Structure 1
Amino acid sequence: MIEFSLVLLAGVAAGVLNAMGGGGTFVALPALVAFGLPPVTANAVSRVALVPGAVASAWVYRRELTPVGPTSTKALTAISVIGGGLGAGLLLVLPAASFDAAAPWLLAFATVILASGRHLSRALSRALGRSVGMSSRAVLIGQFFLAVYGGYFGGAVGIMMMALWTIGLGLDAAVSNPIRIAQLAAIYLSATVLFLTASDALSAPLLLTAMLIGAVAGGFAGAHLARRLPAWLLRGVLLATAVITTVLYFLRG
């Protein structure tokens, strides 16, 4: 029961973080590894468990979905589903040692994006000296690669989406948050279908159930909290979580 409760709390935290801006993987993956799951299995379990939480968050925002620049919501979602499934396939096909070696560096990369994404967006806008505007094709290509990354690892992929849309289209992060959450759900959903059929994600049913229940509660509550908490506080919580987790992963390796 102690193990179940701790993983449940980790699921709540992951669901809240994903709903508020991204970074749930920074909590879910290390928590499952800490309870003895191999990194690849933990990654698959966390992805399966976080899907209902992402769907719950998307449901809260269902009336606030807006297109991403010139790209239709249907086209963007289709690309997210395809890319997420491909990324999940790469995780299952590549040797487990590849993910073990890459995980700390993927965490570090995601942490850097989280810390510097907003500053990079402003710097590029000033350098261009004009309002940026990606074509629909460019948005879809960028989304495809982000979805592949999200299916394979997922850490801060929602934050990377915000960075891409802010840099390429000048979208406000608050306005694009609902569609970002919907795309996260699409990426996770396609990856989950593959993980459930071709991985050992069901080999730890107790941990999976605990994190799933927590993620649903956290995803629903986090979507409401995101509307009330100041943006600087949300960014601070995400960045602190990312930095601590990344350091611990490097020390562990």
Structure 2
Amino acid sequence: MAEMILVFVAGLLGGILNAVAGGGTFITFPALVFIGVPEVAANASATVAAMPGYLSSAIGFRHEIAEIDRRLMLRLTGWTMLGGAIGSGLLLISSNEAFAALVPFLLLGATLVFLRGAQVRAWAARRRGAVTAFGAGTMVPVAIYGGFFNGGLGIVLLALFALWGMTNLHAMNGLKCWLSFALSVISLLIFAAGGKIVWIPTLVMSAGTIAGGLIGPPIARLIPMPQLRILIAVIGFGTTAIFFWRLVA
């Protein structure tokens, strides 16, 4: 019962963070590892647990999503699911030992991307048109990363959209939420087929992420964004340090 309470609270906090700034993976993934879930299964379960939050956010941006050309949406969704399938498949064939060795570096990279998200998006915006807009050559690799490790995916997607030349932040957020949901759906199917989802903790965590997604926006109005980003960065670096310590201990 204590472990399920911990998992629910982790999902709650992760859902709040994802709703207001991102970075929920820095809490949900370590919480599952802490209760004894192997690293590969913890990553798979955390990805699936975030799925309801992605869907509810996409519904919230439904008007902005509806303004995007339907054929383009279908194409991007297809490429995202293709890349997500490849990344999820790579995770399935990874051993816990190999993935555990990668985790500290993945967490560190995701934390740095999160912390420098505004600069990354600004850099991409200055180079808009530098790559083929809405091209599979950039969408598929990002989706592969998301299927393998979900941390920091939202920031990477927003930077990619800026690189494509998108400027409407609401449309970018809506597209980000929808593609993240589509990716988590294909990941769910692959991880379930591979037996990598620890269902009871995942369902409990999902309930927490839904609650967190609902109460996140009011909380966001109370906490200044700079302080919130510092808090998430501290969590990210702290989690990274813990997993580095686990690696060398």
CA distance in 2, matches of 1:236, 1:160: 19
Kindly provide the amino acid, as one letter, of the partner of residue 135 in structure 1: T
Cα shift readout 1:177-200 (whole Å, capped 9, x = no counterpart): 121111111111110111111123
Report how far residue 232 of structure 1 moved.
3.5
Aligned to 2:167: 171
1:94-133 matches, within 5 Å, as 94-123=94-123, 132=129
The secondary structure found in structure 2 opposite 1:72 is helix
Identity of aligned residues (%): 32
Normalised by the length of structure 2, the TM-score is: 0.86
The secondary structure found in structure 1 opposite 2:23 is coil
Aligned to 2:36: 36
Which moves more between the two structures, 225-234 or 53-62? 225-234
1:1-253 matches, within 5 Å, as 1-65=1-65, 72-123=72-123, 132=129, 134-136=131-133, 138=135, 140-169=136-165, 171-202=167-198, 205-222=199-216, 231-253=225-247
Kindly provide the amino acid, as one letter, of the partner of residue 143 in structure 2: A
Kindly provide the amino acid, as one letter, of the partner of residue 248 in structure 1: I
Gaps in structure 2 of 5+ consecutive residues: none
CA contact (8 A) 1:44 1:199 kept: no
CA distance in 2, matches of 1:61, 1:224: 17
Gaps in structure 1 of 5+ consecutive residues: none
CA contact (8 A) 2:114 2:155 kept: yes
The secondary structure found in structure 2 opposite 1:201 is coil
CA contact (8 A) 2:40 2:196 kept: no
Kindly provide the amino acid, as one letter, of the partner of residue 147 in structure 1: A
Which moves more between the two structures, 225-234 or 13-22? 225-234
Cα shift readout 1:67-104 (whole Å, capped 9, x = no counterpart): 779x8222111111111111111100123222111111
Report how far residue 2 of structure 1 moved.
2.0
Off by >3 Å, runs of 4+ in structure 1: 66-69, 120-126, 131-134, 172-175, 220-238
Report how far residue 115 of structure 1 moved.
2.0
Cα shift readout 1:201-234 (whole Å, capped 9, x = no counterpart): 14xx432221121112223333676688755455
Normalised by the length of structure 1, the TM-score is: 0.85
Kindly provide the amino acid, as one letter, of the partner of residue 252 in structure 1: R
Report how far residue 136 of structure 1 moved.
3.0
Instruction: Report the number of matched residues.
Output: 247
CA contact (8 A) 1:21 1:158 kept: no
